Amino acid sequence: MSFKGAIVESSDNVTYTDNVKKTLAKFDEVDGFITNLQTDYDGIKTYLTKLLDLKSRGFKVHNSIARLQFQLEQTQVSITSLGTQKKNRLNLLKIDILELAENVLDKRLIIDDKERTRVDEFRESLGEYRSKDTVSFDDVCKLVTISLEHMRDLHADINKFDAQIQEAQVFADRNYDIGDLMGDLEQQKSNLQEHYKLHLDLFAKMSIKHLLRTAKYIEQLQTEADKIRNATKEDVEVEGDTTVPAAEENVAESETDDVNAV
């Protein structure tokens, strides 16, 4: 997995880009869990069908059927929930990148109509990604590339002050009454440098947050997978069981924690 743009190679952005790559790689593990659970589901369903046939022929398999039906339901709940959680977590990553990228645009130095058009096009592009309901890995990679381009342009803005400061010095030496123009420009340049450094830090911290959150999520999935496989060890009612499965409760709690964390 790679992102486009020369600035990606800069050490300034390596924490951000590396952690996003690691986060997306961990999301690949979610697909592995879903595949394994689907295999389990198919196997359980096949054997359950056989037991139902044995029941119709008079064999005493009622208890085993009840257990397998419960395990089958639990497995389906997990398959559905994993897909939903993956979608939600990718969307949270998308939103965080979008918001930081938009903040960078707000700090840009607009020196002419050409630059104004460029910034407006970036905003339009970000708006298109914000309106998407379903986020893919490719979408996230493109957003990272766009955000890096914003940061590259912001860094380039810093150097635009040098020529203006030098010109102001020339006219100051000619005794033109320009006040503290050089000082004002130096201060504006310094502020822009601070904004650049701040956003480097914000992008890095955001990527670390998502990596740690996703790693914890994978650990929870492993725990839930183990619970599902061991579900038949617990006594279940043949009919009328209205208890919310533990795995489903944990999924709901996990989603609530993620929303609150953001």
**What secondary structure does DSSP assign to 93-158, as a single string?**
HHHHHHHHHHHHHHT----SHHHHHHHHHHHHHHHHHHT-SS--HHHHHHHHHHHHHHHHHHHHHH
In a domain, 243, yes or no: yes
| Closest by Cα among 2, 8, 7, 74 to 40 | 74
Domain assignment present for 14? yes
Which pLDDT tens digit goes with each residue over 190-220?
Answer: 999 999 999 999 999 999 999 999 998 888 8
pTM value > 0.75: no
Nearest-angstrom CA–CA distance, 194 and 227? 50
From the centroid of its chain, how far is CA 154? 24
Residue 168 in domain: no
The confidence score (pLDDT) of residue 113 equals 82
DSSP code per residue over 220-259: HHHHHHHHHHTGGGS---SS---PPPHHHHHHHHHHHHHH
* Res 54: pLDDT: 93
Note whether residue 101 is domain-resident.
yes
Domain hosting 133: range is 6-157+195-261
84, part of any domain: yes
Q: Does some domain include residue 184? A: no
Residue 247 lies in a domain: yes
pLDDT one-digit tens code per residue, 7-43: 454 678 889 999 999 999 998 888 888 888 899 999 9
Task: Give the mean pLDDT of 31-57.
Answer: 92
- Nearest CA to 48 among 20, 67, 23, 21? 67
Q: Check residue 230 and give its pLDDT.
A: 67
Give me the pLDDT at residue 98, please: 94
Tell me the pLDDT of the chain averaged across its residues: 83
Residue 66 pLDDT > 50, yes or no? yes
Average pLDDT over residues 86-107: 92
The closest alpha carbon to 90, from 213, 257, 237, 241, belongs to 213
- Whether 76 has a pLDDT exceeding 80, the answer reads yes
pLDDT, one tens digit per residue, over 119-170 is 888 888 898 888 888 888 899 998 998 899 889 888 989 988 999 999 999 9
Counting the structural domains of the chain, the total is 1
Assess if residue 186 is contained within a domain.
no
